[in-house]
Amino acid sequence: MLLTLTTTHRPATDLGYLLVKHPDKVHTADLPTGTAYVLYPEATEERCTAALLLDVDPQRLRGRADAFALGQFVNDRPYAASSLLAGALNKVFRSALRGRSKDRPELAERALPLELRVPVLRGTPELAERLFTPLGWRVVATPIPLDDVPETHPLAGPSPYIDLVLTGTIRVADALNHLYVLLPVLDDAKHYWVAPDEIDKLLRSGEGWLAGHPEKVLITRRYLAHRKSMAASALEQLDQADPDSVDAPADTATDEEAELPVARRQSLAEQRRDAIVAALREAGAARVLDLGCGGGALLGALLKDSHFAEIVGVDVSSRALDLAERRLRLDRMPERKRARLKLFQSALTYRDDRLRGYDAAVLMEVIEHLDPPRLPALAASVLGHAQPATVVVTTPNAEYNVRYEGLTGLRHSDHRFEWTRAEFGGWARSTAEAYGYAVEMRGVGEIDEALGTPTQMAIFRKEESA
Ligand code: SAH
């Protein structure tokens, strides 16, 4: 299996710094699937090519309890690029994938003229186009003809292999992450057990590009080897990171996906936003706080509704605020719309005078990210100090988790807890009482008779003070 990466950026040999592999040497790595080599067929100032060669060892693949074991020695694995190559890439170019470079940090941040080639790859030209074009690549995928196969032979017909060439001006880290995720997606034969941490790997490698990709449903499903519940959970997290998904109706999935619950599940995030917006409108709120706004998923929905005259996104994480700024494309937003939005950093467990005087506050999927002993401080700062007339809180319903097949722990790696309906109801009622609010409990998402809805929502309304 072979992959080459070429740049014409000058000096082109700087590629060696970005990949942390010196162009004058041959680098070898022992992997569970075989031996990987990195070498440079050309390395001049004008043009430099790094080649990753994976010499698959069928012996090492034997005895694995997966699809490989079936094919044993007589399969195409040693030749056709696949998830094995993706695995090798991940191992051999680890810091480059993370966008880190000790020697050329500025260069690692820059988009460079690149050409990627995978000369033998299972997949179709159409799918290669659908996957790579939206990411800014020019795609040339040439079907590889089979040698003189008689028409009556079972192998007759179009070959399942392509020669893939991608060109574009793209950051090296992004290019490698695109390949890491999309090679196995193109191949669509998953060769290893899909562990729950695959979701995290997918989200990490897909950061900044997967959430907005038009084929994100297909990519996520195939990457997670058709394990629907895991794909659903990943899509929900991607959706949270993608305010544009408000625009994307669930039925943008291709026919192939249409019958799958993923499309419906994906819209849980949308249903949640809709339910929150509806609650805010019912309350007649025009000036609203989105507390723990994260990547700005709700801010995007609020901005679309001109009823909300002043919208404030607050988060403790400056990274989240940067992400929201980028995702909402604040730099390109028309002045009038931009003027309705403020973003600032604040920790919700401390009183902040800037949060006072608003009609409503939302805590969408935030409380479960706090350690339980910090919750009283959060309640004191939001309901006790900021004191908006309405506070809308959503959080997962832990009872519903059994419906997510394959989910073992919590729904997200940063969740500190997930509550049953009784637990959330108990917290909501005692908190409301402590701060002079009335509370109403609602469910969001498809209801299961026994388990309730996947998301639970509490609406606090300030009682008229005597
Ligand atoms: N509301 C967003 C993000 C949910 S993730 C959405 O549903 O898409 C939880 C967010 O809460 C994260 O962005 C995290 O940075 C933020 N957060 C966690 N603890 C916080 C605290 N003490 N103060 C402010 N924000 C906090």
Q: Are 196 and 203 in contact (CB under 8 A)?
A: no
Give the DSSP H or E segment for 323: helix 318-327
Q: Which two tokens stand for residue 384?
A: 């006790």
Instruction: Tell me which of 78-82, 112-116, 284-288, 411-415 is least confident.
Output: 78-82
Protein residue with least CA distance to atom 9, ligand 1: 366
26-40, 189-203, 245-259, range with the lowest pLDDT: 245-259
- 295 CA distance to ligand 1 middle (Å): 9
- Say how many Å lie between the CA of residue 116 and the centre of ligand 1: 38
In this structure, of 152-161, 180-189, 284-293, the range with the lowest mean pLDDT score is 152-161
In the structure encoding, which two tokens stand for residue 334, read together?
Answer: 């028309």
Query: Residue 264: pLDDT above 80?
Result: no
Q: Which helix (H) or strand (E) holds 427?
A: helix 421-435
Looking at residue 196, its pLDDT comes to 61
SS3 181: helix
Global pTM reads 0.52
- Mean pLDDT computed over 217-224: 85
Specify the pLDDT at position 328.
92
Give residue ranges with CB within 6 A of ligand 1: 240, 292-294, 297, 315-317, 320, 347-349, 364-366, 369-370
Asked if residue 143 lies in contact with residue 162, where contact means CB atoms within 8 angstroms, the answer is yes
The preferred substitution site among 315, 319, 364, 378 for testing ligand 1, maximizing ligand atoms within 8 Å of CB, is 315
pLDDT 10s digits, 348-398: 999 999 999 999 999 999 999 999 999 999 999 999 999 999 999 999 999
pLDDT of residue 229: 60
Per cent of the chain over pLDDT 90 is: 60
- Mean pLDDT of all residues in 165-181: 96
Nearest CA to ligand 1 atom 20: 316
Query: How far is CA 318 from its chain centroid?
Result: 19
Q: What is the DSSP string of 50-62?
A: EEEEEEE-HHHHT
Q: Which amino acid is at 197?
A: D
The best mutation among 323, 369, 392 to test binding of ligand 1, ranked by most ligand atoms within 8 Å of the C-beta, falls on: 369
Distance CA(235)–CA(74), nearest Å, equals 36
Which of the listed residues 321, 366, 411 should we mutate to test ligand 1's pocket, taking the one with most ligand atoms within 8 A of CB? 366
Ligand 1 atom at shortest distance from the alpha carbon of 364: 1
Going along the chain from its start, the domains and CATH numbers come out as 2-193 (3.30.1610.20), 268-462 (3.40.50.150)
Per-residue CA distances from 163 to 126, 169, 386, 454 (Å): 13, 20, 60, 44
Q: What is the DSSP letter of 408?
A: -
> Is the per-residue pLDDT at 54 higher than 80?
yes
Question: pLDDT, tens digit, for every residue of 310-360?
Answer: 999 999 999 899 989 988 989 899 999 999 999 999 999 999 999 999 999
* Token output for 357: 């005087």
Tell me which of 406 and 27 has the higher pLDDT: 27
Q: In angstroms, what is the span from residue 297 Cα to ligand 1's centroid?
A: 12
Least confident interval from 8-17, 101-110, 324-333, 403-412: 403-412
DSSP element (H, E) containing 431: helix 421-435
Query: Are the CB atoms for 286 and 361 separated by under 8 Å?
Result: no
d(CA 368, CA 449): 24
- What is the CA(93)–ligand 1 centre distance, in A? 32
Closest residue by CA, ligand 1 atom 8? 240
Distance (Å) of CA 268 to CA 98, 251, 366, 457: 30, 14, 16, 13
Residue nearest to atom 12 of ligand 1 (CA): 294
Contact assessment for residue 231 and residue 220, using Cβ atoms and an 8 Å cutoff = yes
pLDDT of res. 15: 97
How far apart CA 12 and CA 333 sit, in angstroms, is 37
Provide the residue type at 6 as one letter: T
Mean pLDDT of 140-164: 75
Phi then psi for residue 447, to 5 deg, are -95, 135
